[in-house]
């Protein structure tokens, strides 16, 4: 899915990165990288040889996940450090996830050395986390109406129903939406392994509950899981 065409000179117009996604002390410049009035991300990729391994038909394939990466220019207010980060939507296994897939670091004064300490201070993980939290929150806001949760089928359930058995996935409408809501409810209560708790609530094997959660993630109903973390 191609990203929306941004307004001339406005890096935040497509909603991929906003000022609110940046930690304190960092600023999202209104202009695009290179002082350009338009988005030069494709040109930057070409100059860097970012996708040199994909040529011909492979480069144009829908399976080429480097397509539509977007470079965004941020500045550190205290040190005037200039950084370009490449934001890439992950379109397949986890449609709504955005990852930082490239960094260009420019010191305040041209010619100053780059040290590993300076690179470690770049808040890439915090920026990624903020972007994904915002995107997923936007997707879920419209489902909650008052004290009821409105499901896509039109069915309404109460918050307390989320901790009851979900039933048969082949017979229950909105089953994977319910899986996502139950998982989210348990996670918000501090459950460190919500899939295991879900298996107990629903009277199924752990592998079955994990399969439900994986399918909910693949549909964009849950954020992507983190490596090394249960549930």
Q: Check whether residue 202 and residue 93 sit in a common domain.
A: no
Residue 206 lies in a domain: yes
Q: Check whether residue 24 and residue 135 sit in a common domain.
A: yes
Q: Check whether residue 100 and residue 205 sit in a common domain.
A: no
Q: Check whether residue 164 and residue 115 sit in a common domain.
A: no
Residue 230 lies in a domain: no
- Residue environment code for 176-207, b if the CB has 16+ CB neighbours within 10 A, otherwise e: bbbbbbbbbbbbeeebeebbbbbbebbebeee
Instruction: Name the strand (E) or helix (H) holding 184.
Output: helix 175-188
Q: Check whether residue 51 and residue 120 sit in a common domain.
A: yes
Identify which has the larger pLDDT, 32 or 175. 175
Q: Check whether residue 56 and residue 88 sit in a common domain.
A: yes
Least confident of 94-108, 122-136, 143-157: 143-157
Total structural domains within the chain = 2
Q: Of 139, 170, 198, which residue is a domain's last? A: 139
Tokens 């906003």 locate to: 18
- pLDDT of residue 136 exceeding 80, the answer is no
Strand intervals (E) in 94-141:
97-106
Q: Of 173, 147, 145, which Cα lies nearest the Cα of 161?
A: 147
Residue 7 lies in a domain: no
Confidence at 166, pLDDT banded by 50, 70, 90:
very high
Mean pLDDT (the chain) is: 79
Q: Check whether residue 44 and residue 128 sit in a common domain.
A: yes
**pLDDT value, residue 1:** 38
Q: Check whether residue 200 and residue 122 sit in a common domain.
A: no
**pLDDT value, residue 195:** 94
Q: Of 114, 139, 164, which residue is a domain's last? A: 139
Q: Check whether residue 153 and residue 79 sit in a common domain.
A: no
Residue 78 lies in a domain: yes
Q: Of 139, 169, 197, which residue is a domain's last? A: 139
Q: Check whether residue 133 and residue 174 sit in a common domain.
A: no
Strand intervals (E) in the chain:
26-28, 70-76, 82-90, 97-106, 144-145, 148-150, 156-158
Q: Check whether residue 122 and residue 68 sit in a common domain.
A: yes
Residue 3 lies in a domain: no
Q: Check whether residue 195 and residue 152 sit in a common domain.
A: yes
User: Which residues span the domain enclosing 70?
Assistant: 19-139
């Amino acid at each position: 899915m191609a990203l929306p065409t941004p307004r001339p000179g406005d890096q935040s117009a497509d909603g991929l990165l906003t000022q609110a996604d940046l930690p304190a002390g960092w600023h999202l410049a209104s202009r695009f990288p290179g002082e350009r009035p338009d988005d030069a991300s494709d040109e930057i990729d070409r100059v860097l040889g970012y996708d040199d391994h994909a040529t011909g038909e492979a480069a144009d394939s829908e399976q080429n996940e480097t397509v539509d990466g977007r470079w965004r220019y941020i500045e550190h207010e205290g040190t005037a450090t200039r950084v370009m980060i490449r934001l890439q939507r992950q379109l397949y296994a986890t449609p709504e996830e955005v990852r930082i897939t490239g960094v260009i670091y420019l010191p305040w004064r041209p010619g100053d050395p780059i040290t590993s300490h300076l690179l470690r201070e770049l808040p890439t993980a915090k920026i990624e986390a903020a972007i994904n939290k915002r995107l997923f929150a936007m997707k879920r806001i419209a489902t909650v109406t008052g004290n009821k949760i409105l499901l896509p089928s039109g069915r309404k359930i109460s918050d307390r129903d989320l901790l009851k058995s979900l039933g048969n996935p082949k017979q229950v409408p909105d089953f994977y939406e319910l899986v996502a809501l139950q998982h989210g409810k348990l996670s918000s209560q501090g459950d460190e392994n919500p899939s295991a708790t879900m298996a107990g609530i629903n009277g199924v094997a752990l592998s079955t509950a994990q399969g439900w959660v994986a399918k909910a993630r693949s549909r964009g109903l849950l954020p992507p899981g983190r490596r090394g973390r249960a549930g």
